[in-house]
């Protein structure tokens, strides 16, 4: 079992880190009272593998002595539970700016001196920082960089990351899918709807697919589209995206977009990505 204690300065990004770890299949609890931590750890151990990765966020909001935290951690260690401490920090100027942007009050700011509150918190947390296994300074971090750093520390190498791709065909006459990240319009391709023997078929049928792909512009477009998607997917992974929705649209979402979506989905799957292909308007 991975058991992680997340602590650090208020406004440095502890909750953001916990949210990212949740996406990495950690079970996260924010601001758990120190006295409950050993009991919670005992319950996790009793589940026998149900909770493989657990992260607890603890900070100055609890108003508890960090001697109590260390006692709780020592008790957990005696139970046979190995834990690690992740300490999140940032520069005073950065934290001041973040609090001003969110208009929230620092938990130690009682007199309007936020800089003084941050410096007092740094002093109070110095013992926790000294015992930390990992320290992340988020001063210059974008969310994607924090994601990459947490993945590297607690999951694996960046090269092991992947992305779930959902390829959707649709008809423009019914509107663009609201969840689409990328939208491609294939209404410029020859339309099987105007071929009498193909009109009642769909892009899932071989005759329609053969008609769509027999044209040179379709094959050239497909090559350029596949090259673009192959180029983009690793960059989206590096940026921290876990899923991508690619929408392919034609007029009615019945012929061209379906054939192109099926071909693109097969291409992406062949590159080793997890992909789901669906056709929103094929029955309309």
Domain membership flag for residue 284: no
Question: Do residues 65 and 152 share a domain?
Answer: yes
Question: Do residues 176 and 261 share a domain?
Answer: yes
8 A C-beta contact, residue 166 and residue 275: yes
What confidence score (pLDDT) does residue 213 get?
A: 97
CA dist 148 → 10, 21, 29, 91, 157 (Å): 21, 11, 21, 20, 9
Range of the domain at 58: 2-158
Question: Do residues 185 and 44 share a domain?
Answer: no
Q: Is 269 exposed, middle or buried (0-12, 13-18, 19+ CB in 10 A)?
A: middle
- Tens digits of per-residue pLDDT, 123-157? 988 988 999 999 999 998 888 888 888 888 887 65
Domain stop point among 158, 185, 211:
158
Q: Which residues of the chain have pLDDT under 70?
A: 49, 60-66, 156-161
Domain stop point among 91, 125, 158:
158
Domain membership flag for residue 30: yes
What confidence score (pLDDT) does residue 63 get?
A: 52
What confidence score (pLDDT) does residue 156 get?
A: 66
What confidence score (pLDDT) does residue 256 get?
A: 97
Query: d(Cα 173, Cα 140) in Å, to the nearest integer?
Result: 45
Question: Do residues 93 and 213 share a domain?
Answer: no
What confidence score (pLDDT) does residue 136 get?
A: 94
What confidence score (pLDDT) does residue 62 get?
A: 53
What confidence score (pLDDT) does residue 216 get?
A: 97
What confidence score (pLDDT) does residue 199 get?
A: 94
Question: Do residues 170 and 122 share a domain?
Answer: no
CB atoms within 10 A of CB 21: 25
Q: How many domains does the chain have?
A: 2
Q: What is 98-137 written as a DSSP string?
A: HHHHHTPPPTT-SSS-HHHHHHHHHHHTHHHHHH-SEEEE
Domain membership flag for residue 76: yes
What confidence score (pLDDT) does residue 219 get?
A: 97
Query: d(Cα 17, Cα 209) in Å, to the nearest integer?
Result: 46
Query: d(Cα 238, Cα 22) in Å, to the nearest integer?
Result: 18
Query: d(Cα 225, Cα 217) in Å, to the nearest integer?
Result: 12
Domain membership flag for residue 142: yes
Picking from 166, 193, 182, the residue whose alpha carbon sits closest to that of residue 275 is 166
Domain membership flag for residue 243: yes
What confidence score (pLDDT) does residue 64 get?
A: 55
């Amino acid at each position: 079992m991975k058991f992680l204690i997340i602590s650090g300065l208020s406004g440095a990004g502890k909750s953001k880190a916990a949210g990212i770890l949740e996406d990495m299949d950690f079970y996260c609890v924010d601001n758990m009272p120190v006295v409950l931590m050993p009991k919670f750890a005992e319950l996790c151990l009793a589940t026998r593998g149900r909770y493989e990765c657990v992260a607890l966020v603890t900070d100055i909001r609890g108003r508890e002595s960090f001697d109590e935290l260390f006692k709780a951690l020592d008790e957990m260690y005696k139970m046979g539970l190995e834990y690690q401490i992740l300490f999140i920090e940032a520069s005073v100027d950065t934290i001041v700016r973040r609090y001003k942007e969110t208009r929230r009050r620092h938990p130690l700011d009682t007199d309007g001196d936020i800089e003084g509150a941050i410096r007092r918190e740094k002093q109070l947390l110095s013992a926790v920082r000294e015992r930390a296994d990992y320290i992340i300074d988020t001063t210059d971090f974008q969310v994607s960089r924090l994601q990459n750093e947490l993945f590297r520390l607690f999951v694996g190498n960046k090269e092991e990351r992947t992305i779930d791709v959902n390829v959707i065909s649709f008809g423009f006459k019914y509107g663009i899918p609201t969840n689409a990240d990328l939208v491609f319009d294939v209404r410029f391709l020859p339309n099987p709807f105007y071929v009498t023997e193909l009109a009642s078929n769909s892009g899932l049928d071989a005759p329609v697919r053969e008609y769509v792909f027999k044209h040179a512009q379709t094959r050239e477009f497909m090559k350029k589209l596949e090259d673009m998607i192959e180029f983009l997917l690793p960059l989206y992974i590096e940026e921290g995206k876990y899923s991508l929705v690619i929408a392919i649209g034609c007029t009615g979402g019945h012929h061209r977009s379906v054939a192109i979506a099926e071909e693109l989905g097969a291409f992406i799957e062949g590159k080793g990505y997890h992909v789901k292909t669906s056709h929103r308007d094929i029955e309309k």
